[in-house]
Chain A
Amino acid sequence: MSPIARLTLLFLALAVGACSSSANSMDSGLAYYDTEPSMEKATTHLSMPGMTVSEANRLPFNLGDGGWEDSVSVTAEPTAFINDFDVEAAETPPAAPATVERLLVYSGRFQVAAGDIDQALDDTKAMAKDLGGYFQSLSDHTITIRVPARRWDEALARVAGIGRILNRQIDAADVTEEVVDLKLRLRNARALGKRLEELLDLAKTVEETLKVETELNRIRTEIERIEGRLQFLSDRVAFSTLVIMFTEAATAPTRLQALPFPWLRDLGLNNLLGLPGGVR
């Protein structure tokens, strides 16, 4: 082989080596690239909204009269949610996990273009009331309402009637595991509290009494904290949160004829940051 031919082969090998090296460095695996948020998201939102009484009764624990079906009474009697939990049932491994109903907290954020924002805000308040929910807060052109979870789908459909939806983000957070864990911790804390009360009766010295009372106060605080969290989750499960940000319809974007370059549609924050809400 002539020297020039050898030199050519050497350059070729170097060029190929450089290209493959570059590609390898770019493809080096970083496991956290597509890491999901820590909050477990449900893949479907069909199990909770529109759930019938019989479906609710199949839940792994009994939420009582203040549970799923009558969300208003959940707020009125939060302890029903706490006290009626069947710990024994929760400790029994589910026979068929695929059939276990989940406790889901639904939330949605919409950006809606409306011709008359004041009218749209009034319509949204009326919609919340009509669905059995309530208006929660208003800041500038952003309104937050709570609607019963069982009427969630209906609420989403009715938003489209208020204005033109520019962007939406729907989430369903699964709190089943947290609720089960809290229930078990509550049971243990109550049992410990009861035992400490018995010990308090047996205390003979001031020092013994003080020690037991200190521990008893700690346990009571813990019980209150768990009950508060359960009450909060009960409310979140029963009522879904809907945030709607209104913009003037006149300033709402109007899409031009799409150009035949698909990558243009891939531009933007949603794709770049992995944000929900379609092309935006």
Chain B
Amino acid sequence: MKALALLLAVLALAACTATPKTDVPEGYVTLPTRGNEVLAVVAPTGNRMVVKRHTNPPEGTLEFWRDAIRNELVDGRGYELTESQGVAGSSGAPAWEMLCSVTRPEGAYLYLVTIRIDRGEVIVAEAGGQETAIRPDLPGLRKAMR
């Protein structure tokens, strides 16, 4: 009986520490991950996508992180929010997706960020690149980031 309990505990532990699954978008290659990165990929054009996980306080809801990230990017950085919508995550759990346009002296960029809550963690996926380079990749990136 003790052994069975131990087995269940091990299985539960394995499930808790499992890496959130994120597909590599077509045309991208993986990069070594750093820190709390789950996945980092790059396209030949220089577009990048990174998925990170962060500890989520018990009360942290998707709406909390949506507002916190929106405030950071729009009010704090001056990003222009062009899309903001709730989407279905790959696991069926709700996610939130925001697309921002950013004008820099050297040109226009797009920044896509998707947030979801997964087993007590905030999973944040970011993608960015020069607008002309990343716009054709957006459908694939959206799919991979959810």
Contacts and interface: CB of A to CB of B under 8 A. Distances in A.
Interface of A: 2, 4-5, 7-8, 11-12, 15, 18-19, 22, 26-30, 33, 109-111, 142, 166-167, 169, 243, 245, 252-256, 258-259, 261, 263-265, 267-269, 272-273, 275, 277, 279-280
Given A4-B3, A18-B14, A279-B77, A26 B111 contact: no
Given A263-B52, A268-B73, A269-B109, A2 B32 contact: no
Q: Which of B46, B68, B76 has the most CB of A within 10 A?
A: B76
Interface string B105-141: 1100101010000000000101111000000000000
Nearest to B102: A269
Given A2-B3, A8-B3, A169-B105, A30 B32 contact: yes
Contacts of A280: 77-78, 102, 104
A255 B75 contact: yes
B48 A26 contact: no
5 contacts: A8-B7, A243-B105, A263-B54, A264-B68, A280-B102
Nearest to A25: B30
Contacts of B3: 2, 4-5, 7-8
Contacts of B50: 272
7 tightest A-B CB contacts, nearest first: A253-B78, A109-B105, A4-B3, A15-B14, A26-B33, A255-B76, A8-B7
Interface of chain B, main secondary structure: mixed
A110 B76 contact: no
Given A11-B7, A169-B106, 5 more contacts: A7-B3, A15-B11, A258-B76, A267-B126, A272-B111
Interface in B52-108: 52, 54, 68-69, 71-79, 102-106
Nearest to A27: B32
Given A8-B6, A142-B105, A167-B105, A267 B14 contact: no
A234 to B, nearest CB: 25
Contacts of A279: 77
A252 B29 CA distance: 36
Contacts of B36: 263
Contacts of B102: 269, 280
B128 A267 contact: no
Contacts of A252: 78
B72 A267 contact: yes
A27 B35 CA distance: 11
Contacts of A19: 14, 17
B77 A268 contact: yes
A273 B10 contact: no
A29 B72 contact: no
Contacts of B39: 26
B56 to A, nearest CB: 10
Contacts of B54: 261, 263
